[in-house]
Amino acid sequence: MNKKTKEEFRSASRGYSDASIFMHEAIARKAGLTGADHKYLGLILQHEKLTAGELSKLTGLTKGAVTGLIDRLLEKKLVERQFVENDRRKVIIVPNVENSMKLLQPFFTELQEKTAKLLKTFSETEIQAIQRYFVEATNIMKATTEKLNNS
């Protein structure tokens, strides 16, 4: 890859990353959430249930910060807190998918339609290359995050 192509790629990647953050912050504000709470809710929604400790490990948040996050999401009825019968210190977080979708789906419908239309303009081979980039770049970012959280 020549220097100009590399710089153009970095610029496009940085622009995508910035636009994603700004869009999710705007969605969060409209939904009455903070940007971080919106993204953490998205992470919680990917799981049927998880413990507060697992959420802490996934996010790098302290246990106190996880408690605050859960309290804020509980207040909006976006998650439920369940206690383990034989160990009340252990808390299970269960997403309220129905309430979360009711809150967030209106903001994503048009975005999903436009993204689907854009994807139709790419060949199967191009989509596979883009997907490979996202998967591998995500793995790099996760490894970097884990290293920072553990140092």
Per-residue pLDDT, 84:
78
Q: Would you list the domain boundaries of the chain?
A: 3-120
Kindly report the backbone phi and psi dihedral angles of residue 28, in degrees, each rounded to the nearest multiple of 5, phi listed first. -60, -45
Is the domain defined by 3-120 classed in CATH 1.10.10.10? yes
Per-residue pLDDT, 78:
97
Burial class (CB in 10 A: 0-12, 13-18, 19+), 18: exposed
The DSSP annotation for 73-84 comes to: HHHTTSEEEEEE
Per-residue pLDDT, 59:
87
Give the range among 18-27, 62-71, 79-88, 138-147 with minimum mean pLDDT: 79-88
- 83: left (phi > 0), else alpha (psi -120 to 50), else beta? beta
Q: Who wins on pLDDT, 126 or 52?
A: 126
Residue type at 13?
S
